[in-house]
Amino acid sequence: MPGAVIPDDLCDLIGAARRVVALTGAGISAESGVPTFRDAQTGLWAQYDPAELATPEAFARDPALVWRWYRWRRELIAGVAPNSGHRALARWAARAESLVVVTQNVDGLHHQAGQEQVIELHGNITRTRCVNGHVVEAAEPERERCSRCGARLRPDVVWFGEALPEGALEAAERAVREADLVLSVGTSSLVQPAASLPVWAITAGKPVVEINPVATPISGQVRFSLRGKAGELLPALADCA
């Protein structure tokens, strides 16, 4: 949909917005070739449920299997680049007083697109840490131990059942509180506590704009629910900024 048509009232709202927050999920990376979390499983991994593998229990039960899954995802992500959606948010940030990206994604593509203010709620798949929290470099994290405390190494992501990184949710809540426009881009709005952020914005009376090819649990509550792809709609929205 080249040159998507943005309604005048939405374009005016964007033009007047000074402090923007973009809440992003796996859908913004889909056009970069990163399968969304729910369809990430192809080939060998089709038999596994990501919500089962992305847990401390799975890692405790079979660390080698979990590492194989993360190595497969790391190799996939190493071969992709930011798309026009990521780039549009980075461009928009240069034109607003502030634009903070609060992402559920662990692929680092917002940083790669030049986005300066990014809150990674669920960590970053390319980083490795030990089970005691020490971030380390490791060529073979499946086999190596922490160079600082000797503990087992794991990907520096937040698994289901684990708390978000210290201060990340608070920083995201503060950004939403200070925003005059909130975007919810490419997320099924199912995973908590990230999914509570757009709901909190709606409750606080902030204008929320959702971008998703399909409806989500918040589609009926937001100011604008745009049915479309992030890579096509975000550039058109950024042109209004």
- For residue 98, the minimal CB distance to ligand BV8 (Å) is 23
Q: How far apart are CA 36 and CA 162, in angstroms?
A: 21
Q: Are 238 and 91 in contact (CB under 8 A)?
A: yes
Tell me how crowded residue 218 is: count the other CB atoms within 10 A of its CB: 19
Nearest residue to ligand BV8, scored by beta-carbon proximity: 27
Q: How far apart are CA 101 and CA 54, in angstroms?
A: 23
DSSP secondary structure string for all residues of 101-121 = EEE---S-HHHHTT-S-EEET
Query: Residues touching ligand BV8: how many (CB under 6 A)?
Result: 35
Binding status of residue 230 toward ligand BV8 by CB under 6 A: yes
Binding status of residue 161 toward ligand BV8 by CB under 6 A: yes
DSSP, collapsed to helix, strand or coil, labels residue 128 as: strand
- For residue 23, the minimal CB distance to ligand BV8 (Å) is 10
- For residue 18, the minimal CB distance to ligand BV8 (Å) is 25
Query: Which tokens is 27 given?
Result: 């859908």
115 contacts: CB under 8 Å, gap ≥ 6: 86, 89, 90, 93, 101
Phi, psi for 135 (deg, rounded to 5): -75, 130
Stretch that binds ligand BV8, among 2-10, 21-29, 176-184, 218-226 (CB under 6 A): 21-29
Lay out the site mask for ligand BV8 across 102-141 (x = CB under 6 A, - = otherwise). Answer: --x-x---------------x-------------------
- Residues 110/111/113/117 CA torsion (nearest 10 deg): 80
Q: Which of 20, 211, 236, 237 binds ligand BV8 (CB under 6 A)?
A: 211
Residue closer to ligand BV8, measured from CB, 24 or 148: 24
- For residue 87, the minimal CB distance to ligand BV8 (Å) is 14
Annotation marks residue 122 as catalytic: yes
Residue closer to ligand BV8, measured from CB, 76 or 98: 76
For the annotated catalytic residues, the residue numbers are 122
